[in-house]
Amino acid sequence: MCRLSSITLLSVFLVVSSCDVSPSPESHGSRPEGSKRPNVLLIVVDDLGYADLGVFGSEIETPNLDRLANSGVLLTNFYVAPTCSPTRSMLLSGTDNHIAGLGNMAEDMAPNQEGQPGYEGYLNFRVAALPELFQESGYNTYMTGKWHLGLTEETEPAARGFDKSFALLQGGAGHFDNMLPIVGPDNAIYREDGEALEVLPKIFYSTRFYTERLIDYIDEGKENGRPFFGYLAYSAPHWPLQAPEESIAKYRGKYDAGYDVLLEQRLRRLKELGFVDSDLESYPRMLGENEWNELSVEDQRYQSKLMEIYAAMVDDIDVYVGKLVDHLKSIGEYDNTLIVFQSDNGPEAHNLEQGWSDLEAWVEECCNNSFENIGAPDSYVWYGPNWGQAGNTPLRMFKGYTGEGGVRAPAFFHFPKGILSNTKADGFATVKDFMPTLLEFAGIDHPGEGEFRGRDVVAMQGRSLAPILTGKGDVVRGPNDYMGWELFGKRAIRQDEWTIVYLPYHDVIDGIVPIVKTDEWQLYNLSDDPTQIHDLSESHPEKLAEMVELWDDYAERNNVILPDRLSGY
């Protein structure tokens, strides 16, 4: 048997229910009666791979994050949406992205989805947003980093519950002060406390600036004596890959052996640490991609530097999280701060120029991608499928897909005085569970399906993980519950250890993805086949039919509208 995360201190089953569930109105959370309300620090990183942190055996140096994870509860089976904004909509609403407004990404909305409920392209007002609830209960609420949940004054962070905010509104941008957009010609869009910014500070480097600005907010708010909810949404390591030269230099030569060697090293470490069984094989290479030793010396040199830049970006996240933790300790707030960390999806491992002609043209116009210049503010590169698969080993596929590699991500909880420590939670948990969990620890009630701030809102679907995190319970759901996904017509359902995956045909995907039949459901048992290599649809037709029925139920409950035009992504 090849079970992921087979060696754990805590094994639980945490599948998202098909029913809407909100915290009990009688609950005052996991905070002891009369105790000080905790601060909550929610850290989200952008496109981090499953095996990118040192706690999972990565060679990238992440000692601060590893220390937090090892002294808290590490979620080894944590699930998100396939891409950024759908995940963030679930994180801040506690419900499915097709209900919360990001049934599809705003950038890729199909004609038949436009104007439909759940497809507004922003975090809609049928949900009570997490920061709104913290604000309503008297918390100071702060946000720095990537928003990606609305571009207008009515839908930006300042309008959705944040007292103070410095936000990149779009899905990505360059990481320095030149406001390099994800696609030009207009500058990337930043707003501070509701005001549009025409320029960025000259000292701007996204990871450093977002951290330091959040520290400023925390210090400014200390005078009123209220606890804080801080949302630190790094835009790293999202492409374009950029980092300070001194950060990149730390990894110079580190990846000269290539992506095939890195994949084997990462997989071996995962096995040694007990995250995967010793006989597990990684998902195979994308079709048409070259082995490392088939590349020219010049191509190898260029490819190595791409990974050096990526590693530098991840390392910098760790450095600045460490600075933030040190600051919390210096002001006496560390022990009373619940810290939550997650990636929003799997790593970006597409050949992005395929299927996105506007991007290819923009990169040619905007930037200098010579070997000497990549990583600089006027460069624009990504690291592609081979490094991405190494970073995500052993999982199937990566960001944008509903296979395990797209929707499974690293995450942990850390709270010195409130939860277990040195614990691995092996059960199925999802991003929808984080909102009810945080509300419970803060002693905040969700309105459920009712009225909030003068509007009707839906109930949460997620369930609080507090019993698991505190050791007061080991199960929050049963084996009949399930989780569903859909994005760009790509679909999946998981129930217990069974999962089905559907990949629609289109010109870019066909002929690239191995071991996949397009336009057909494929069936896998994750207890025996966690990398989703062995399709059981023909040998288990009754189980397949049962799972497809669950998909139909999921689609109906969540108003899934399959796109009539497939994204090039």
Which residues form the catalytic set? Answer: 84, 148
Q: Compute the CA torsion angle 143, 146, 148, 151 (nearest 10 deg).
A: 70
User: Whole-angstrom Cα distance, residue 18 to residue 479?
Assistant: 12
Phi, psi (degrees; rounded to nearest 5) at 295: -80, 155
Pairing of strands 490-495, 408-414: unpaired
Q: Give the torsion through C-alpha atoms of 16, 21, 24, 25, to 10 deg.
A: 150
DSSP string for 409-458: EEEEEE-TTTS-SSEEE-S-EEGGGHHHHHHHHHT-----SEEETTEEEP
3-state secondary structure of 221: helix
Tokens 């796109």 correspond to 563
Distances (CA, A) of 489 to 176, 285, 414: 34, 23, 36
DSSP 96-155: -HHHHT-SS-GGG--TTTTTSTT-SSS--TTS--HHHHHHHTT-EEEEEEE--S--STTT
DSSP 222: G
Six-digit token pair at 437? 């969990």
d(CA 154, CA 143): 16
State the helix-helix crossing angle for 63-70 and 297-330, rounded to 10 degrees: 60
Measured CA to CA in angstroms, residue 514 lies from 284, 393, 510, 517 at distances of 7, 15, 9, 9
Give the phi and the psi of residue 64 in degrees, each rounded to 5: -70, -45
- Whether the CB-CB separation of 509 and 503 falls below 8 Å is answered with yes
- Closest Cα partner for 303 from 371, 206, 246? 371
Q: Say if residues 119 and 561 touch (Cβ distance below 8 Å).
A: yes
370 vs 372: CA distance, rounded Å: 5
Q: Any residues with CB less than 8 A from the CB of 260 and at least 6 apart, and which?
A: 291, 292, 293, 386, 390
Angle at 16 between CA 13 and CA 17, to 5 degrees: 110
